[in-house]
Amino acid sequence: MTTRPLRVAVIGAGFMARAHSHAWRTAPRFFDLPREPRLSVLVSRDESKGAQLARDWGWESWSGDWRTVIDRDDIDVVDICTPGDTHARIAVAALEAGRHVLCEKPLANDPADAAMMVAASESAARRGVVAMCGYSYRRTPALASARRLIADGALGTIRHVRAQYLQDWLSDPDAPHTWRLDRAAAGSGALGDIGAHSIDTAQWLTGELIEGVSARLRTFVTTRPQRSAEVGLGGTGDPDSPRLPVDVDDAAAFIAGFSGGALGVFEATRMALGRRNANRIEINGDRGSVAFDFERMNELEYYSADDGDDRQGFRTIQATDPAHPYADAWWPAGHGLGYEHAFTHQIVDFVRSIESAPASPGFADAHQVQRVLAAVEESAADEGRYTRVR
């Protein structure tokens, strides 16, 4: 590893900033990186909380102003971990200033903002500046291995994509309001928050793009108690506190047509009581199938039509053997990885893309996800009419 530091600014102080902070600290300790990440500054509006979190999460300093930080010549990377309505202005400013950008998903709150970010990233790329969007689940070893199987033709022609992303932290009608329930901040509800992961994963695994959708959205709880203090996802708010409107979807369901002919069925909800973080996908081809559930993230279910009749069936592949992507950097086979490892792998790939490899997913890939999200909302607003992605 060169000693040339990569000086990082993270913008945001919530769940994603915490996960990214852990990943920036951990990546150089387990992977050989071309540059040594340096946690230079955490940017958040709230000085009392932000300065403490900066210390807790290993950042050298805190700042309350992202614009000042972006203009500093001793910052190389801007890592955007803020609500979606702020992504475009921060990313465009950072790219124009020559900073490499990692931006949390979804890229933006609408395709227009996403297009602006793509244009800025393409212009910056001509100056050797890198931009990546944080679809972290691509970096779980099991899903990365599933992609290899599909790319190698092990599943044959893809017929079905079946994706559900099921959470339940909003099942309680008194779970407090959060920016994720405010369209102006989040752009949409479960659809953009977690459905976006399913869309990205499905397109990335199959190599096919979603061309059209027929969709329904539901909002089951239309007001929620004001959040009393910054608590984690979900929990129970004060039922007597003022209730704020919810103007985003609680759940989304849609069918999708893929460019290679596959048929997709998608579901995203944060009210599937009992499902904490069941990010699932199953892909059926004419020669085989794979199935993944993040709640068993070290395992990949694989079925091959090539197995003899006397031994056909789904087998469970432990994606912790060194043969699986990223796995050999960690523990002996069978010792298992967790949610945070995908974020460390994301930082590894991002840092390596600054020096050599292309950044994937780039902003253009993330823009395609944004267009699918917009088609889902357009279809749902028109009684589920089949709507082309444009």
Q: Which stretches of the chain bind ligand SOE, using CB under 6 A?
A: 15, 167, 193-194, 233
Beta strands in the chain (DSSP E): 5-11, 36-43, 61-63, 77-80, 100-104, 131-134, 158-166, 210-218, 223-225, 243-245, 251-258, 263-269, 278-285, 288-293, 299-304, 315-318, 387-388
Compare residues 76 and 377 and give the one whose CB is closer to ligand SOE: 377
Compare residues 233 and 263 and give the one whose CB is closer to ligand SOE: 233
Question: Amino acid identity, residue 191?
Answer: L
Compare residues 108 and 354 and give the one whose CB is closer to ligand SOE: 108
Compare residues 119 and 221 and give the one whose CB is closer to ligand SOE: 221
Please, what is the minimum distance in Å from the beta carbon of residue 105 to ligand SOE? 6
**Cβ partners under 8 Å of residue 109, min gap 6:** 84, 85, 87, 186, 187, 188, 192
Q: Return d(Cα 156, Cα 305) in angstroms, integer.
A: 10
Compare residues 196 and 327 and give the one whose CB is closer to ligand SOE: 196
Please, what is the minimum distance in Å from the beta carbon of residue 24 to ligand SOE? 17
β-bridge mates for residue 256, sequence order: 213, 264
Please, what is the minimum distance in Å from the beta carbon of residue 38 to ligand SOE? 26
Compare residues 167 and 379 and give the one whose CB is closer to ligand SOE: 167
Please, what is the minimum distance in Å from the beta carbon of residue 342 to ligand SOE? 8
Please, what is the minimum distance in Å from the beta carbon of residue 233 to ligand SOE? 6
Contact yes or no for 37/8 (Cβ under 8 A)? yes
DSSP3 helix / strand / coil % (the chain, rounded to 5): 35, 25, 40
The first and second tokens of residue 171, run together, are 């099942």
Please, what is the minimum distance in Å from the beta carbon of residue 287 to ligand SOE? 31
Coil, strand or helix: which one is 247?
coil
